[in-house]
C-alpha cells in the first residue's frame, strides 16, 4: 500500500509495530517446525556414533613423590593412566578426566607410600616391579557407570642418587667390557693355536717342508725349524726310556708288574709328545 502524498513509497510504520515485527521474525526462526525431506534432496547427517566403551591413555609428565627407606630421599613415580567410560566419545572422556587427575594421583600415592619405605633409595627398579604387581588388575572407582582408570608406573630414583650411582656403573661397565674383550682374545688365540698346530703337523710329514717353509717368511721358517728340532729331540729321550725299561727287567730282576708299568710309562710319554689320543683298554 502506497502513500497518497508520495506515490510509490511505503507508508510509515509506527515504532511499536517495527519492534513486534522483528520479535515475531526471531521467534518464527527459533520455533518453526522442521520441513519434510523432499525426494531428491540430500539427507541430513546421521548422529555421531558412540562406542560402547571409550578409552583414553593419559601419560602424566610430572612425577608423584614418595619417600624411600630412611626418609632421606624420594622416589619419583611417573604414572600412565588408562581411562574407560561407557557410551562416551574419546574426546569427551579426555576433557572429563582432566579434572580427575589430582584425585587419580592421590590414589596412586596412597598405594605406593607404604611400599616405597621398604626399599632403599637406589632400588627404584625393584620398587617399580613390586608396585606394578600391586596395581595390576585394580581400577578406581569400581563403579562401571562412571569413568574409571587402571594405572602403570615407572619409578626413578632421586637425582642425587643417580649421581652417586654413576661412578659405580661406569666401573662395572668397564670391567664387563674388559672381561668380554679377554674372552674374545682367548677364543681367537685358541683358534689360532689349533690352526697353526694343524699346519705344522701337516708340514712335518712332508720331507720338503723345511725348504718350502723359507718361502713363506723368515719368522715362520725360524719357528718351524725350532719345532722340527724339538720333535727330533724327543726320539732319543724315548729310546733311552725304553732301553732303561728293558734293562731294568733283565738286569735288575723286575717283576712282570714293574716291567709293565715301565712300558706303560714309555707308551704314554710317546703318545703325549706326539699328541696321540690314548687308546681305550
Largest CA distance in the chain: 171
What is the chain's Cα-based Rg?
Answer: 48
| % pLDDT > 70, the chain | 53
Q: So where are the chain's domains?
A: 53-157, 163-205, 209-273
May I ask the CATH architecture of the domain 53-157? 2-Layer Sandwich (3.30)
Mean pLDDT of the chain: 75
Write the CB contacts of 97 (distance below 8 Å, at least 6 apart in sequence): 56, 58, 81, 83, 104, 147, 149
What pTM value is reported for the model? 0.53
What is the distance, to the nearest Å, from the Cα of residue 167 to the centroid of all Cα atoms in its chain?
23
Contact 59, 77 (CB under 8 A): no
Nearest-5° Cα angle at 66, 60 to 71: 155
Q: Is 8 left (phi over 0), alpha (psi -120 to 50) or beta?
A: left
pLDDT average per 10 residues of sequence, the chain (281 residues) = 45 51 59 48 53 89 96 97 89 89 95 96 96 94 86 96 92 92 86 73 59 55 66 60 56 56 66 60 54
3-state SS of 58-103? EECCCCEEEECCCCCCEEEEEEEEEEEEECCCHHHHHHHHHHHHHH
- Can you give the pLDDT at residue 224? 62
Nearest to 211 by CA among 194, 231, 230, 228: 228
- Can you give the pLDDT at residue 188? 84
- Can you give the pLDDT at residue 89? 84
Query: 236: which 3 cell numbers?
Result: 732319543
The model's pLDDT over 196-217, given as tens digits with 9 standing for 90+, comes to 677 666 666 555 555 555 545 5
Amino acid at each position: 500500500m502506497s502513500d497518497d502524498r508520495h506515490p510509490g513509497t511505503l507508508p510509515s510504520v509506527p515504532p511499536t509495530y517495527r519492534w513486534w515485527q522483528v520479535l515475531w521474525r526471531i521467534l518464527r526462526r527459533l520455533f518453526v517446525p522442521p520441513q519434510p525431506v523432499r525426494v531428491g534432496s540430500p539427507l541430513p547427517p546421521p548422529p555421531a556414533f558412540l562406542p560402547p566403551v571409550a578409552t583414553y591413555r593419559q601419560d602424566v609428565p610430572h612425577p608423584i613423590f614418595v619417600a624411600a627407606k630412611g626418609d632421606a630421599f624420594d622416589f619419583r613415580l611417573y604414572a600412565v593412566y588408562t581411562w574407560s567410560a561407557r557410551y562416551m566419545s574419546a574426546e569427551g572422556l579426555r576433557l572429563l578426566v582432566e579434572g580427575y587427575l589430582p584425585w587419580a594421583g592421590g590414589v596412586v600415592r596412597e598405594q605406593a607410600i607404604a611400599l616405597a619405605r621398604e626399599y632403599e633409595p637406589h632400588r627404584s627398579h625393584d620398587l617399580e616391579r613390586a608396585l606394578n604387581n600391586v596395581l595390576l588388575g585394580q581400577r578406581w572407582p569400581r563403579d562401571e557407570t562412571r569413568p574409571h582408570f587402571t594405572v602403570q608406573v615407572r619409578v626413578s630414583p632421586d637425582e642425587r642418587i643417580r649421581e652417586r650411582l654413576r661412578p659405580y656403573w661406569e666401573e662395572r661397565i668397564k670391567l664387563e667390557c674388559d672381561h668380554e674383550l679377554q674372552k674374545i682374545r682367548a677364543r681367537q688365540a685358541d683358534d689360532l693355536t689349533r690352526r697353526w698346530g694343524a699346519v705344522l703337523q701337516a708340514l712335518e710329514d712332508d720331507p720338503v717342508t723345511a725348504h718350502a717353509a723359507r718361502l713363506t717368511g723368515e719368522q715362520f721358517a725360524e719357528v718351524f725349524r725350532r719345532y722340527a728340532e724339538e720333535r727330533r729331540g724327543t726320539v732319543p729321550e724315548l729310546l733311552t726310556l725304553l732301553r732303561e725299561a728293558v734293562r731294568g727287567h733283565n738286569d735288575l730282576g723286575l717283576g712282570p708288574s714293574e716291567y709293565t708299568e715301565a712300558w706303560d710309562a714309555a707308551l704314554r710319554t710317546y703318545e703325549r709328545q706326539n699328541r696321540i689320543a690314548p687308546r681305550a683298554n
